[in-house]
Amino acid sequence: MGQNMSVSSVESMFPDVKTMAEKIEMPNKNFSYGTAGFRDNASILDGVLFRTGILACLRSIKTGMNIGIVVTASHNPEHDNGDKIV
């Protein structure tokens, strides 16, 4: 697609995103994206994962390419959970 998108065009494509985003609590913390993605305690990553999903969707629309998200969990220690855009 490769087009510039305004907030209103994004809202028209995803009308429920704002409502859903308002329901997800984002902790008062700065998250940084490193070589391993966003990593932290799983209990505070809901908002990060939601926003990562939105970013991946928008990036896919803009570039016309497939964008994926890797979520680490299961046997990892709680502080070592995270997500990564691929």
Q: What is the DSSP string of 9-54?
A: HHHHHSTTHHHHHHHS---S-----BTTBEEE-GGG-HHHHHHHHH
* Residue 74 annotated among the catalytic residues of the structure: yes
The active-site residue out of 6, 32, 43, 74 is 74
Residues annotated as catalytic are: 74
